[in-house]
A = this chain, B = another copy of it.
Amino acid sequence: MIVQKYEEMLQGKSVIRTLSEKATKIGEEIGYENVFDFSLGNPSVPAPAEFTKAMQDLLTNEDPVALHGYSPTLGIPWVKKAIADSLNRRFDMNYEAEHIFPTSGAAGAISHALRLVTEPGDEVITFAPFFPEYIPYVNLTGAQLKVVQSREDFQIDFEALEEAFTEKTMALLVNTPNNPTGVVYSEETLQTLAKFLEDKQNKYGHSIFLISDEPYREIVYGGQPIHFVAKYYANTLTCYSFSKSLSLPGERIGYLAVAPTCEKAKTLVQMCGQISRGIGHNCPSSIMQMAVAKVIDLTSDLSVYERNANLIYETMRDVGLTCQKPDGTFYIFPKAPIADATEFAMTALKYNLVLVPSDSFGRPGYVRLAYCVGEEKVARAMQAFREMMAKEKFC
């Protein structure tokens, strides 16, 4: 017997895939350097040289039996401590090694966090627009993802949240800096959210967890301070990935940090070890755990993302599109000039621009540009964008 559920999931026609295939075809005709592909969120800057050096040092100097040996189920103790110390240093927190669970990227962290605090039938709320993978992340656990629209400025709409919240809501899944909008939650949003959740905990008499998906935490613009979500709300489960900050998306390395203020914080980390047994996780790569720990406070040179953001935002404003200025990430999310964003994206393809229509992010009528692309190419792309907006009659 083959399980039908997963076979049926394969049928879902992906707009992104269709676009990507068309872009490949265009690339074959006119050369890939002339395709302005803003569809994929794959970092465009290299990992820092210090990371490569840390890997080489480990391979050269460590005993291979120990280096590649089993990591303890809950992660390598000194790696966990390095992560905790870094969070404490940077965000004035009180993590101990025992609050940290290394995972296969943020996806692995979220998959553990969801299983810690939800049973099948429970509800998890997220805010649209949102990363579409949240749907399988949540729904394949047996819990249900419930989507609440955020405001026009992409901050939380607390009236809409109040309306959607029920006694079955066990967790909120938030993502700031946000994919796909590039918006960062303001301190006011985080403070109001904490108060809202505390009230709900009192009302329902049980813990409600904030699952904070933070792969873009270090990519914030204008020298703004990072608002570390777990500072604002006690029951926060922080899901982090080194994919974007160190440009290592393929290495699947990240962690779940259980705030020391969480109910049974250290027990939650130990429970992650049990969850792993059911989902076949068993820790991320041991050399990868060690290498990121050795460069724990570093990032890749992320400055290109801000320069790209500024150039694209100016263009959107000049051509008259409604667009929230990104505070970080490498995404921008302008409103399409016509109601049907897919039609707009198809038109853009004629100008060799690959944009992702927003329907799959749960907020129709927009397009997402992932501008982890070289600066020179972004400049040429914006010329093409201006040309399109001048020539096409969008009504």
- A residues within 8 Å of B by Cβ? 1-3, 6-7, 9-10, 40, 42-47, 52, 55-56, 59-60, 63-65, 67-71, 103-105, 107-112, 115-119, 122, 133, 136-137, 139-141, 170, 206-208, 247-253, 263-264, 267-268, 270-271, 274-275, 277-288
Q: Would A264 and B2 be within 8 Å (CB), given that A10-B274, A281-B104 are in contact?
A: yes
Among candidates B68, B104, B140, B249, residue contacting A278 with C-beta atoms closer than 8 Å: B140
Please indicate the chain B residues that have their CB under 8 angstroms from the CB of A250 in the complex: 67-71, 283, 285-287
Q: For A111, list chain B residues within 8 Å (CB).
A: 278-280
Contacts known (A103-B280, A251-B287); A63 close to B46, Cβ less than 8 A: yes
Q: A59-B52, A59-B56, A288-B285 are in contact. Are A137 and B280 (CB under 8 A)?
A: yes
Instruction: Give Cα A74–Cα B341 distance, bound, in whole angstroms.
Output: 29
Contact between B206 and A268 (Cβ–Cβ < 8 Å)? no
Least CB distance from A55 to B in Å reads 6
Answer whether A249 and B285 are a contact pair too, CB < 8 Å, given A137-B278, A140-B279, A274-B10.
no
Contact of A65 among B45, B206, B251, B279 (CB under 8 A): B45
Given A10-B274, A267-B7: A247 in contact with B64 (beta carbons within 8 A): yes
Once A65-B45, A68-B248, A274-B9 are accepted as A-B contacts, the answer to whether A112 and B286 lie under 8 Å apart by CB is no
- Which of A44, A109, A286: most chain B CB closer than 10 A? A286
Residue of A69, A137, A288 ringed by the most chain B CB atoms within 10 A? A69
Would you give 20 A-B contacts (Cβ < 8 Å), ordered by A? A1-B118, A1-B119, A2-B207, A3-B119, A6-B116, A6-B271, A42-B65, A43-B65, A46-B64, A56-B59, A68-B250, A69-B249, A70-B249, A104-B282, A111-B279, A112-B280, A137-B277, A252-B282, A253-B285, A279-B279
Q: Which of A46, A103, A277 has the most CB of B within 10 A?
A: A277
- CB–CB A6/B275 < 8 A: yes
Provide the bound-state CA to CA distance between A248 and B69, in Å.
Answer: 6
Closest to A251 in B: B285
Q: Are A64 and B47 in contact (CB under 8 A)?
A: yes
Contacts of A60 in B (CB 8 A): 56
Shortest CB distance A170–B (Å): 5
Alpha-carbon distance between A110 and B280 when the two chains are bound, in angstroms: 7
- A32 CB to nearest chain B CB (Å): 14
> CA A170 – CA B52 in complex, angstroms?
46
Q: Out of B10, B44, B64, B285, which one reaches A285, CB within 8 Å?
A: B285
The 4 closest A-B pairs by CB, nearest first: A140-B278, A111-B280, A250-B286, A136-B277
